[in-house]
Amino acid sequence: MDEELENQNAAEGEDWADAEQSADSMIGSERILNQDEIDSLLGFDLSDEEAAERSGIRAIINSALVSYERLPMLEIVFDRLVRYMTTSLRNFTSDNVEVSLDNISSIRFGDYLNSIPLPAILSVFKAEELENYGLLTVDSNLIYSIVDVLLGGRRGTAAMRIEGRPYTTIERVLVQRMVEVVLADAKLAFEPLTPVTFTLDRLETNPRFAAIARPPNAAILVKLRVDMEDRGGRIELLLPYATLEPIRKMLLQQFMGEKFGRDNIWEGHLATELWTTQMEVRAVLDEQQISLKEVLSLEVGQTIMLNATPDSLIELRAGTIPLTRGRMGRRNHHIAVRVEAPLTPHARRAIQSLK
């Protein structure tokens, strides 16, 4: 009997020890995250980059940026820019040029300056009507391709690149002419929306000297691909949101000419109904202010003396709004008022607001 009790107690002690050990192992496993869980928490997933940008800490960081999709008209403007550039660059280079729109994205201005692959030429331009600046970047591949095409390089051969040297005056002048062509096309692309003149301000090769906004400011980045048969490169157009703020309401349109908060059909119907609305007009000969005590003491047969004569002007009112003044008379069997003065400014403004 004693041996059975000892065996039973020993078995129960082993069970308690196993349970404590399993609990400790479960607690320890909950505190340790594997690499996949850490990547998911931080928002870095190499297998699905788009999903990673919408999850984890990375999504919180990127949430401060405003998506360009909130400006639907902007994509239409840049699509029109691609068509204009294709024609104008063909005329400029006398070569078969194809321009394509890679993507439109939102980015912080400081992050963009740090991501520019050097060497490159950065063109700072001013939007005159918007009173702000933008940035147009031409990468080295396109620079050497344009120079090669304009100076008579052979087709079928890659443009020769010499690294480690600054751009020559000839290269800068040729690129400047191409940038002016692109800015002229950008003006035409914005023309149906709003007139904007883009003027080249300066060319820079160092991103530090091309700062047109604060590093944390949001901007819209448009990447354009220029292909000239076996040569080509990339043009990047960057517009800070501060530059687009004056025309933000226009860029919010879903289609050209959309009106926000107004309906011309309803306005016309309302104006028509108001013009046919019956209204009460009062002819006031005279007014007097008396106390409530005097009003309560009035009796039948008492006379109230008015400060008016048969020649006094009568004021015509619509509610509390004075309209005009006139003189009382008679026409056939009716008492009439002949208007002697034009409408008051207050009444004229009220009528014009209905029109």
Q: What pLDDT is attached to residue 68?
A: 54
Give pLDDT, residue 135.
93
Q: Where are the domains of the chain?
A: 30-63, 68-251, 264-296+306-354
pLDDT for 161 = 56
**Residue 164: what pLDDT?**
59
CA distance 82 to 295: 81
Residues 233-237: what's their mean pLDDT? 91
CA nearest to 185, candidates 203, 198, 170: 198
The domain 68-251: what is its CATH number? 3.40.1550.10
**pLDDT of the residue at 231:** 82
C-alpha pair distances (Å), 140 with each of 78, 118, 137, 231:
23, 8, 10, 12
On whether the CB atoms of residues 95 and 230 are closer than 8 A, the answer is no
pLDDT tens for 31-55 read: 576 777 776 666 565 555 555 455 5
Question: Kindly report the CA angle at 51 between 46 and 56, in degrees rounded to 5?
Answer: 90
Query: What confidence score (pLDDT) does residue 57 get?
Result: 64
The CATH code for residues 264-296+306-354 is: 2.30.330.10
pLDDT of residue 177: 93
- Quote the pLDDT of residue 61: 60
Q: Pick from 288, 350, 306, 305: which is nearest to 324 by CA?
A: 350
Interatomic CA distance for residues 242 and 134, integer angstroms: 10
- The confidence band for 20, taking pLDDT boundaries of 50, 70 and 90, is low
**pLDDT single digits (tens) 149-198:** 888 776 655 555 556 577 888 889 999 999 999 999 999 999 888 889 99
User: Between 18 and 349, where is the model more confident?
Assistant: 349
Whole-structure pTM value: 0.56
Average pLDDT, the chain: 78
Cis peptide before 119 (omega within 30 of 0): yes
What mean pLDDT comes out for the span 260-274? 74
